Amino acid sequence: AQSVTQLGSHVSVSEGALVLLRCNYSSSVPPYLFWYVQYPNQGLQLLLKYTTGATLVKGINGFEAEFKKSETSFHLTKPSAHMSDAAEYFCAVSADSNYQLIWGAGTKLIIKP
């Protein structure tokens, strides 16, 4: 069975610092991987996704993520945090056309001025 683990329900970084949000998955077949962001009082929106091809995926707002099969990870990074990045981030995985997305529990990113 597939599963997704997001390490840390809350991550706090200073403005300008590196953002690293961790996502590990379990899947017996090559997965498709997603990061979604939820700003306060809004619905979720796609940040980026990995389906096939290049393992380093660039998304919106300067975020990127790298699919590492050997580590079963899809960590989200951004070189320099902005106050506007404060939001909740969800990792999701799907590994079969019959499967719905399996969602992580979410990580709240807090930006300190």
Partner 1 sequence: DSGVTQTPKHLITATGQRVTLRCSPRSGDLSVYWYQQSLDQGLQFLIHYYNGEERAKGNILERFSAQQFPDLHSELNLSSLELGDSALYFCASSVDSPHTDTQYFGPGTRLTVL
Binding residues for partner 1, rule: CB under 8 A, are 32, 36, 42-46, 49, 51, 90, 94, 96-101, 103, 105-106
> Would you say 13 or 35 has its CB closer to partner 1?
35
What burial letters (b/e) apply to 2-23, b meaning 16+ CB within 10 Å? bebebeeeebebeeeeebebbb
Q: Provide the minimum distance between the beta carbon of 100 and partner 1 in the complex, in angstroms, as a whole number.
A: 5
The number of angstroms, rounded, from the C-alpha of 101 to the middle of its chain's C-alpha atoms is 13
Task: Closer to partner 1 by CB, 29 or 83: give it.
Answer: 29
Least distance from partner 1 to the Cβ atom of residue 110, Å = 17
d(CA 94, CA 20): 22
Q: Which is nearer to partner 1, 51 or 55 (CB)?
A: 51
